[in-house]
Structure 1
């Protein structure tokens, strides 16, 4: 079985299992969804897969087919992952903000001090906010550029790693629910006029409703990120960096932007520093697992495609 078949089978088996889990779990909760917000993205995902089969089998346009495969997988996973993130907090386990704050203090990290420093360096805060919001354009670039430059293997490993990391971070977030740094520290954004964090309090009504078991009707196309620990945004930053590393045109721009994204995550994402470290750990493990599952050892040694930055990247 080649990497393409292996990737598609693992990805769609994982997505199918997540869909089944979401539907069964949702039936036991007070959460409901706008039907089209779930069915629409899934239909787009399936449609992309069908187009991929057509272009691969009938037209022999494998690079376009690879890109369509990956677009379909990410589209389907993102909507199912969003629903999963709400379901995992419904057991109502105690909020763990105090423990996460304590972990930061043990590491000698001062979130409020970092907030004050960024407010005093507004130019840098704006750069970080732009980097934090850059994930979707980055994903589009990875899904298009890598397959069309003959590096579909790197793209497939990255996308499957993002799926695995998403499921792991969401599952852990249900066991370690938390409000966010802004809520825990009682931050008044009026005291920090130079900051415009992407996520501060906007997610709290949905999070608290799901956590308390109150009825919640979700439009999944507009769902808020309610994960605190571990940070999926930090995980995505590292995975996008790794995914782009094999391409000489994307390597250094992605390295810079994603380092800035990770640095931005505590403030723009309302995350504890321990959330960021947890997300990076999940990302590293997910990437290694994805490579092990999708890429045969002999193929990896021959091509070197998608190697970790500590290895020798390929020239593109």
Structure 2
């Protein structure tokens, strides 16, 4: 299980790096942490500890029992343990990177949406025309909206699938490519501030009537407060997604498809879903086309980084080898 250890060390190192950056940056920012965050962190930590205890107790109670119900419970316990291992790594990172991206967004550098829109035009893409095109069909719009907002459920399903097969290596790889990607995205947010295509083009309501009322603008009020230079109390329980460039939705779409490459039965349907979701990030998420291109590029870099660190070149992964081609759903 050497690759699992390397993935764990990479996760711990990445969390420490982001946390250190936050500690250095925070005193010089208008952002400060609301004191109530301590209670939120304590509750989340306590919940994970309690769940670890419950799972361990159940595992102890069914030890040596080979009945069919016990075997089923043992499988569920293994799935729960695998997911809790992920939580133990992901929660500290999530807290640190959430603050990091908030700090990255709280700068007064000029917004670069005009440059991003110009790049779109150079590529021959007209964002407003595309919005009008996708808005013409209520059915197409509904599909795009559903695909866009399914990202949270998709992430959970992928994690549960790997955990149910007790493949901690695959689960950690999936988590880490996303974590590395989010870290890179945070750095880019600080370098390329943007508010999104809706904020830049300001289309009329009729132009996106078949999309959600606040399409692409959920983050805008928070972003303006962060950029104002006024003191901003960051409450983790009310954190808003602030990333516009690059498109993190696009990155996740690429990474989810990559993580599902082992399962031939569902791989191509997943790819189709991710393509639909990525397209939806323009009319529903308010992204420029170049946001999508950058998001896909960051995802590719993240995969390269994780595989370079976790897996030795030219060597198979003993016991938990990750095949290069998709395999059947029943394979391992």
TM-score range, shorter chain: 0.7 to 0.9
Which of 112, 130, 138 does residue 96 from structure 1 map onto? 112
Corresponding residue number in structure 2 for 1:275: 291
1:76–1:255 CA distance, 2 compared to 1 (3 A): farther
Q: Establish whether residue 65 from structure 1 lines up as the match of residue 101 from structure 2.
A: no
Aligned residues: CA RMSD: 2.8
Shifted more, 263-272 versus 290-299: the winner is: 290-299
Bigger Cα displacement from structure 2, 114-123 vs 224-233: 224-233
- CA displacement at 1:223 relative to structure 2: 1.8
Counterpart in the other structure of 2:199: 183
Please report the TM-score for the alignment, with normalisation by the length of structure 1. 0.87
Distance 1:63 1:237 in 2: 24
- Mapped partners of 1:87, 1:191: distance in 2: 33
Distance 1:21 1:151 in 2: 32
The answer to whether the Cα contact below 8 Å between 1:104 and 1:273 also exists between their aligned partners in 2 is: yes
1-side partners of 2:302 and 2:49: how far apart? 24
Deviations 1:210-246 (A, max 9, x none): 2231121222222222211111111011101111121
Query: Does the 8 A contact of 2:135 with 2:207 survive in 1?
Result: no
Q: What 5-or-longer segments of structure 2 have no aligned partner?
A: 64-76
Which residue does 2:20 correspond to in 1?
Answer: 20
**Aligned residue for 2:141?**
125
Q: Which sits farther off after the overlay, 39-48 or 290-299?
A: 39-48
**When the two structures are aligned, how many residues end up with a matched partner?**
310
Most deviating of 248-257 and 15-24:
248-257
2:284 and 2:269 map into 1 onto residues whose CA distance is 21
Aligned match of 2:71: none
Contact residue 198 and residue 269 of structure 1 kept, 8 A:
no
Q: Of the candidates 296, 300, 311, which is equivalent to residue 284 of structure 1?
A: 300
Structure 1: which 5+ residue stretches go unaligned? none
Secondary structure at 1:32 match in 2: strand
Alpha-carbon separation, structure 2, partners of 1:36 and 1:246 = 42
Give the distance between the partners of 2:78 and 2:156, measured in 1 at CA: 18
| Aligned residue runs from structure 1 range 125-274, under 5 A | 125-196=141-212, 199-248=215-264, 250-274=266-290
Instruction: Report the Cα distance in structure 1 between the residues aligned to 2:6 and 2:158, rounded to whole angstroms.
Output: 19
Q: Distance in 1 between matches of 2:52 and 2:12?
A: 14
Instruction: Provide, for residues 171-227 of structure 1, a one-character-per-residue CA deviation record: whole Å limited to 9, x for no partner.
Output: 111111011101111222244322216642232222122223112122222222221
Larger deviation, residues 154-163 vs 36-45: 36-45
Contact 2:173 2:306 in 1 (8 A): yes
Q: What is the correspondence of 1:74-89 to structure 2 with a 5 Å cutoff?
A: 74-89=90-105
C-alpha spacing 1:35/1:19, structure 2 compared with 1 (3 Å): farther
Q: Does 1:115 align with 2:131?
A: yes
Q: Contact 1:71/1:143 (CA < 8 Å) preserved in 2? A: no
TM (norm. structure 2) is: 0.83
Q: Secondary structure at the match of 1:40?
A: helix
Deviations 1:28-61 (CA, angstroms, capped at 9, x unpaired): 2221233444663576368648977996xx9797
Instruction: Report if the CA contact (8 A) 2:261-2:325 is conserved.
Output: no
